[in-house]
Structure 1
Amino acid sequence: MHRPTKRLTRILVCAAAVPAVLVVAGCSSDSGSGSDEGAKKGSGAKASASAAQGAAKKKVEPAKFATLPQACSALSKKTLEDLVPKGDSKAGSSDDETARASCSWSSLDNNGVKGSQYRWLNVSLVRFDSDVNRGSGAELAADYFAKQVKDAQATDGAKDVKTSAVSGTGDEASLVRYDRTYKDKKKDVTSKQQTVVTRVANVVVTVDFNGSGLAGDKTPDAGELSKDAEKAAKELVAAVEKSGEAGSGAGDASASASPSKGASKSPDDKASSKN
């Protein structure tokens, strides 16, 4: 007689438990909705921050110079006569002379048995455009300037390397001086090498100038050669400034941070590589 009563009690207990479960489920559902809404707000904030960063990234200072002067005609006749008397010019190859240009001259003042004076001059101009991903043309040129100075200091076979700042030439300029020895008709010849690297805005100008005495003639004075190289660098900077300024915005960098493939080598470089 008591069994039906126990069974009824169990049914009532179970029925009473159902609303509690529904309430809990309802609370859980509300909590999930709030979490989704918070996630959406978080995503929106990140998207806004990303968009702001992208807009700021696109604001790159335009490159100042849009072209380069002709390398072989950038120096005056008087300067060339002083540095490389009666020298023959050779233009370096370039896919785009508005972005990269170079020219070299060689000169031999032959005095027969009394000896000879040899001079070699190379000028290189590299221009950088501004790029929204890489930076402004001036920043890219500054990096290339530093690389050119380090490369000159690390020249193979360079001895007694000295580096000094050059004032009054572009935005920044350095002179790297060193000696190199090469063979001339089985005799050791000392070449006095001067490298002036100058940056003016988004253009880097490099002047390589060396001299040596052949057939027993005396080695030229390094100080005088340095003055000549600095004079050429200043003249090239003036030629760059005269070539015109850019009025357009940023674009892809039109010049890579590497020397021109068409730049010719000094004869003492060639002799050194052979030995």
Structure 2
Amino acid sequence: MHRKAPRIARILTCAVAVPALFAVAGCSSDSGSGSASGSDGGTKKDQGADTAKQTPSAPPATVPPAKFAKLPDACKALAKKTIEELVPKAEKAAGEPDASSDPEKRRGCSWKGLDDKGQQGSQYHYLTFSMHRFESNPALGTGEKRAEEQVGKNVNKFQGKEGAKDIRSNAVSGIGDQASTVSYGAREGGTDFEHAVVVTRTANVVVTLDYNGAGYSGAKVPASAELMKGAQKAAKEVVASIATANK
């Protein structure tokens, strides 16, 4: 009896332990099933991510580079002879350069002079122009397209100039790739002025030139036709200087 007791005890202990093992196994199985389900879900997510990675994205928009990459020295864009003809007795023969925060994209120059003819009076002339270079931009378009749009804006600005009278505007050829002229009179500082404006585009650069004049001490206001003739001549020289600067 004494020898059998320990043996019976061991059998009972094993009998109790076996259900416990099955219970643990059952829990492990449920847990494993849940884990497997989670693993499948993760696999599906990973597969989705991999599919997304493999889907080719649209290439970034590209536009051709603009033709002109730089601007010339504005005050050297016009010949000395041209300045002497259009602005007699100019205060600064070398011109007054415009202040620009970005001279690679914007430059300009101006000249003014009073030609005193004694008893015949005096005539005042002022010539100013600016150059605005546009670069190609995927979001905004080519440099040429942006410049073309700017021409229209500049022309509209002069056509709607406050105080202007007898406004005449025309599209012209032979000056760059696109050009328009605007003529108008204006009363400035108690004196009558006549303005001749040329807005032209050469590739991706817009040139805006204003040549104007007034008569003092009995002198007549410069003729509109003569001013426009001089303005167009100067605009052609500026356009040519841009091409030369980019050779």
Same fold (TM over 0.5): yes
Matches within 5 A, 1:114-263: 114-183=120-189, 188-244=190-246
Counterpart for residue 104 of structure 1: 110
By how many angstroms is 1:126 displaced?
0.7
2:192 match: secondary structure: strand
1:106 counterpart letter in structure 2: K
Which of residues 77, 83, 86 in structure 1 aligns to 2:89?
Answer: 86
By how many angstroms is 1:231 displaced?
0.4
Which runs of 5 or more residues in structure 2 are unaligned? 1-43
Q: CA RMSD in A?
A: 2.5
> 1-side partners of 2:124 and 2:219: how far apart?
10
Q: Higher Cα Rg: structure 1 or 2?
A: 2
By how many angstroms is 1:203 displaced?
0.3
2:84 match: secondary structure: helix
What's the CA shift string for 1:180-219, capped at 9, x where partnerless? 0134xxxx43211011000011100011110111111112
1:79 counterpart letter in structure 2: T
> 1-side partners of 2:109 and 2:159: how far apart?
22
TM-score (norm 1): 0.67
By how many angstroms is 1:241 displaced?
0.7
1:163 match: secondary structure: strand
> 2-side partners of 1:165 and 1:132: how far apart?
29
Work out which structure has the larger RCO, using CA pairs closer than 8 Å and 6 or more positions apart in sequence: 1
> 1-side partners of 2:173 and 2:63: how far apart?
28
2:78 counterpart letter in structure 1: L
Matched pairs, number: 201
> 1-side partners of 2:165 and 2:123: how far apart?
21
> 2-side partners of 1:218 and 1:141: how far apart?
37
1:192 counterpart letter in structure 2: E
By how many angstroms is 1:106 displaced?
0.3
1:223 match: secondary structure: helix
Write out the 4+ residue segments of structure 1 that deviate beyond 6 Å after TM superposition.
none
